[in-house]
Amino acid sequence: MKSLSGALVDWYRAVKRDLPWRRTRDPYAIWVSEIMLQQTRVAVVVPYWERWMERFPSAAALAGAELDDVLAAWSGLGYYGRARNLHRGAREVVARYAGRLPDTAGELRSLPGVGRYTAGAIASMAYGRREPLVDGNVARVLARLFAVEEDVKSATGQKRLWQLAGDLVPADTPGDFNQALMELGATVCTPAAPRCPACPLVAHCLARQAGREGELPRMPGRMRDADKPVLRAAAAWIERGGRFLLARRTPEGLFGGLWELPQAASRAQLARILAGFGLAWRSPAIPVHRHRQVLSHRRLAIDVYAAAAAGRLVGVRRAGPYERAAWHSPASLAGLGLAAASRAVVERYREQDGWSKARQPSRSSPRGTRRSSKG
């Protein structure tokens, strides 16, 4: 085990990618990077992380920010529950730990959104603790290296992988070793066509020796897009004076804290929500736009109805799933945490120079998002 770990760390130090969060041992900076990297490609994360650290350079700075500003900075990364948990977690760090993340995995796991993997990453990389971690890349490397037969996402498979990771992580270089496992999975031991000749552990790999690197790891079948349940909604496009109406969801649940076009399961229910904001609205029978989007565990089918509304908007008042509503211009969207579906609708509106030129309902090209169950 020791020779295997040493060979992997030596390889990592020689070939590792130069990523900005690898140039620091600041636990807050590492925490942010690990949350951003969940279900998101490294190339996408780098500019977001750099902008985030400039805007919120410490847990105290993040804790003092408004949720709207936090979600706006996160906008485009998806899975906004991660941003909400970072915000909540920063406030707990300030309240409970004087602004500095705790240095043990157990205490780290008490923070919102910090599970076993993230706690192990922060504890090992920032504090040099001998803590293992297992993510998708690490699971693939270990499953091939030790010919793990269990489904890597099953309880039995996870127990086996965490045991292996814990046995392997060295006491003297736990942070580099954990990053080396992830680097190997991301750049060499890839899901398809692994580059076995370039692997520093090829001599130890049981899957390679048996010619089974293409069979392992064993994974559960992925749900086909066509089999995913459809979340249908009717959305209102209401304009006044060059601005249109957006509503912000309450912080909890799917899409919590995000702004979006007001929407509900039916036009009648949507009209009742708008009445709660002081607006009398009657939708036309035909939508001006149909947005379709595939998420990880569901599909979105949002029909957009454009019509005027009478009445005076009550800006701060809970109605349905929303805690407030406000008029926004297209130019103001950069400062909002705006749901991806509503952003796509606004982009289509701009492309068409308004809905008046749309003779028939249009449909968005299906857009897939990264796979996650979180909003």
Q: What is the pLDDT of residues 137-149, one digit of tens each?
A: 999 999 999 999 9
pLDDT at position 366 is 42
pLDDT category of residue 14 using cuts at 50, 70 and 90: very high
Tens digits of residue pLDDT in 271-280:
999 999 999 9
pLDDT > 80? residue 240 = yes
How is 96-155 classified by DSSP, letter by letter?
HHTTS--SSHHHHTTSTT--HHHHHHHHHHHH--------HHHHHHHHHHTT--SBTTSH
pLDDT at position 359 is 43
pLDDT at position 330 is 83
Quote the CA–CA distance of 280 and 100 in Å, as a whole number: 50
Mean pLDDT of 152-179: 97
Tens digits of residue pLDDT in 187-221:
999 999 999 999 999 999 999 999 999 999 999 88
**CATH architecture label of 225-368:** Alpha-Beta Complex (3.90)
Residues 6+ apart with CB under 8 A from 331: none
Counting DSSP H helices and E strands in the chain, the numbers are 14, 12
What is the pTM (predicted TM-score) of this model?
A: 0.87
Tens digits of residue pLDDT in 320-363:
899 999 999 988 888 789 999 999 999 999 888 888 654 445 55
pLDDT at position 363 is 55
Reference 135, options 118, 149, 147; nearest CA is: 118
* pLDDT, mean over the chain: 92
pLDDT at position 318 is 85
Residues 257/80, Cβ–Cβ less than 8 Å:
yes
pLDDT at position 336 is 87
Quote the CA–CA distance of 313 and 317 in Å, as a whole number: 10
In the three-class reduction of DSSP (H, G, I as helix; E, B as strand; rest coil), residue 247 is classed as: strand
The catalytic site residues sit at 34
Tens digits of residue pLDDT in 244-257:
999 999 988 778 89
Joined together, the tokens standing for residue 301 give 């089918």
| CATH no. for 2-209 | 1.10.340.30
pLDDT at position 208 is 97
Mean pLDDT of 224-243: 93
pLDDT at position 325 is 95
pLDDT category of residue 297 using cuts at 50, 70 and 90: confident
pLDDT > 80? residue 316 = no
pLDDT at position 1 is 65
C-alpha triplet 246, 39, 177: angle, nearest 5°? 145
pLDDT at position 87 is 97
% residues pLDDT > 90 (the chain): 81
pLDDT category of residue 375 using cuts at 50, 70 and 90: very low
pLDDT at position 94 is 98
More confident residue, 105 or 368: 105
Mean pLDDT of 120-138: 98
pLDDT at position 372 is 39
pLDDT category of residue 262 using cuts at 50, 70 and 90: very high
Could you tell me which residues are beta bridge partners of residue 218? 151
pLDDT at position 358 is 45
More confident residue, 224 or 73: 73
pLDDT category of residue 3 using cuts at 50, 70 and 90: confident
Q: Which backbone phi and psi does 200 adopt, to 5 degrees?
A: -70, -10
pLDDT at position 367 is 40
pLDDT > 50? residue 371 = no
Residues 258/71, Cβ–Cβ less than 8 Å:
yes
Q: What are the domain boundaries of the chain?
A: 2-209, 225-368
